[in-house]
Structure 1
Amino acid sequence: MPDQPVCHCLLCVEHEVELDETDRSAMRTVQERGWAVIMIPEDADGPGWAFTVGLWHTFRSPEVAMFGLRVDVMNNCLKTLANEIAAGRHLVADQERDDVIRNYSVAIKKVDTSWYRSLFGMALHFYQRPPLSFMEVVWPDAGGRFPWNEGCALRLRELQPALWIPKDDHAPGPWTKLP
């Protein structure tokens, strides 16, 4: 087996970064469970999102992000997926999975790095420096259609960014307005 890249997270290396309670809480959760879920609730500026921190540290798996549902629902979905990763069922870009949302498949897409700073600052802070990889969990509309499928509900496209497209090439919307 080839050597795995070294992890440079807050748990693995000496750091000179000042830690706040959010950092310490995430670090405790990663130490105890293997990952943490960071939740950003919906607000006046746009839909909410959630993402993992610690999957790379613990399982050498990409971190996972989800958008546009209630944060408690996304938290449950990401925990389910993290448990599957812990059991050895790793993510593969462009695969569909039926083990995340009951009665629906989700699609897994590799996130372009141009989105990282806008959406995953906590993960960037936790890992200090690469390697860091994210996958987006894309959910379908009630008819099982994904945002790229003909006939997909327009609202679904507004709730979920297409993070596999570089940020500068993405259609304008709430996600491209983030710094």
Structure 2
Amino acid sequence: MFEDSRICRCVICHDYGDRDDYDAADEGVLANVRTFGWSVTGVPADQDGPGWAYTIGRWHSRGGAELAMFGLDLDVMQSCLNILGKRDDLADGQAHEDVVNGYPVRLREVEPDWYRAFFGQGIWFYRQPPIPFLEVVWPDRDGAFPWDTGSLAQPHLWLPPGEHTPGVWTQDV
């Protein structure tokens, strides 16, 4: 689905003439990408719904897909994304057993029509969506994944928005 042209148009590789307008959050992302190779942006849960977290910078630094995780505590998601962020060759359909204690996670390719709803700071960073995103999907306590049960505790971003069950995850699409 994604063309790997390797011509990075991110704000580190290209001057868009707006660097004087970067705020503290923007500068924090840039510093993390330069230091660690990626940054994790967290969106806390609020009265409208659960939180989520995603990486910014893996595509720039490693040529690998960005990662996103939904519906857990922000610290847990940040830890999981940092564990996976160090790995190369992550791909749709993979299982990883050593990310969440006692539970496997699965990677699913995110449909680009979801990007604007969930990855705003990533769009700011790259300025050229779509770049690849993988959703890190976790099972429930019984080991069942959302596609097994229909659970909406996390979005089903591997589906086009029109095929997703309406709910908290679809309100901004």
Same fold at TM > 0.5: yes
Please report how far the alpha carbon of residue 123 of structure 1 lies from its aligned counterpart in structure 2 after TM superposition: 0.2
Q: 2:5 aligned with 1:11, yes or no?
A: no
Q: Distance in 2 between matches of 1:79 and 1:178?
A: 27
Mapping for residues 45-124 of structure 1, pairs under 5 Å: 45-83=48-86, 85=87, 88=88, 90-124=89-123
Q: Distance in 1 between matches of 2:73 and 2:110?
A: 21
TM-score, structure 1 normalization = 0.89
Out of 159, 163, 173, the position equivalent to 1:169 is 163
Identity of aligned residues (%): 42
Q: 2:168 aligned with 1:158, yes or no?
A: no
RMSD in angstroms over aligned alpha carbons?
Answer: 1.4
Letter in 2 for 1:77: C
Query: Given that residues 112 and 130 in structure 2 are in contact (C-alpha distance below 8 angstroms), is that contact kept between their aligned partners in structure 1?
Result: no
Please report how far the alpha carbon of residue 131 of structure 1 lies from its aligned counterpart in structure 2 after TM superposition: 5.1
Please report how far the alpha carbon of residue 99 of structure 1 lies from its aligned counterpart in structure 2 after TM superposition: 2.3
Unpaired runs of 5+ in structure 1? none
Q: Distance in 1 between matches of 2:153 and 2:147?
A: 13
Structure 1 stretch displaced more, 92-101 or 25-34 = 92-101
Q: Distance in 2 between matches of 1:98 and 1:131?
A: 28
Letter in 2 for 1:137: V
TM-score, structure 2 normalization = 0.92
Q: Distance in 2 between matches of 1:126 and 1:74?
A: 21
Q: Distance in 2 between matches of 1:16 and 1:131?
A: 22
Query: Given that residues 7 and 131 in structure 1 are in contact (C-alpha distance below 8 angstroms), is that contact kept between their aligned partners in structure 2?
Result: no
Mapping for residues 143-154 of structure 1, pairs under 5 Å: 143-149=142-148, 152=149
Please report how far the alpha carbon of residue 47 of structure 1 lies from its aligned counterpart in structure 2 after TM superposition: 0.4
Q: Distance in 2 between matches of 1:44 and 1:131?
A: 29
Q: Distance in 1 between matches of 2:119 and 2:78?
A: 15
Q: Distance in 2 between matches of 1:160 and 1:106?
A: 13
**Aligned length, in residue pairs:** 168
Where does residue 26 of structure 2 map in the other structure? 23
Where does residue 139 of structure 1 map in the other structure? 138
Unpaired runs of 5+ in structure 2? none
- Deviation string for 1:18-37 (max 9, x for gaps)? 31111111001100010000
